[in-house]
Amino acid sequence: MIHNRVLVLLGLLTLILSGCAASKKDREIAGDVKTVGNTVSVNGISTLEEGSEIKVELRDIETDSVLEETIVKVNGDHTYGANFSRDKREEDQKLVVTFNPEEQPADIQQIYGRKGENIRDGSPGLVKDGEFNRIQMFDFIYKVVKGSVGQRTILLDSFHIPSDINSGGE
């Protein structure tokens, strides 16, 4: 009788603990990028939980230094958006959009793991840095040239410099 109770308690404990453990899931960040003049806009959707923080950076291509940066939160409908001005619009630049679990509030870290260990391998944009995982997406931001109409592009999971960078966009 005691043996059966111990087995039942162990079974229940196993079910409770397995239910509490976060399952690994694909995590995605998608986004449309638009530039007009010196304004860069990113509007997207993600599979991240509401309140997750996404860092949006405009970087110099040559030095990879951050020129502009903003942090936005994922809304209840899983959308996010960022707008900012760029000072060096005469230069091509790199847009980097990052979800980094170790920089999240505690309640978000519980979902994804402090080191991103609950993000499934194969998630688009997954970057493994030692024992840490993050999601990172990119876009090439064209310089503004006379007569350019700006650009409309999408985030990609790797950064590529276009072969014809003198097109000014679209």
**Which of 93-125 are b and which e, b meaning 16 or more Cβ less than 10 Å from the residue's Cβ?**
bbbbbbbbbeebeeebbebbbebbebbeeebbb
Model confidence at 121: pLDDT above 60: yes
**pTM score of the predicted model:** 0.81
Which pLDDT band, with edges at 50, 70 and 90, does 149 fall under?
A: confident
User: Can you give the pLDDT at residue 50?
Assistant: 97
Task: Give the number of other Cβ atoms within 10 Å of residue 41's Cβ.
Answer: 16
User: Pick from 142, 146, 148: which is nearest to 165 by CA?
Assistant: 142
**Residue that wins the pLDDT comparison between 4 and 124:** 124
Q: Dihedrals φ, ψ of 114, to 5°?
A: -60, -30
The count of residues in the chain is 170
For 4-37, how does the pLDDT look when each residue is reduced to its tens digit (9 = 90+)? 554 444 444 443 443 444 568 789 999 999 999 8
Q: Predicted confidence band at 59 (pLDDT cuts at 50, 70, 90)?
A: very high
Concatenated DSSP letters for 90-146? Answer: TS-EEEEEEE-GGGS-HHHHHHH-TTSTTBPTT-TTEEEETTEEEEEEEEEEPPP-T
Distance between CA atoms of residues 83 and 50, nearest Å: 19
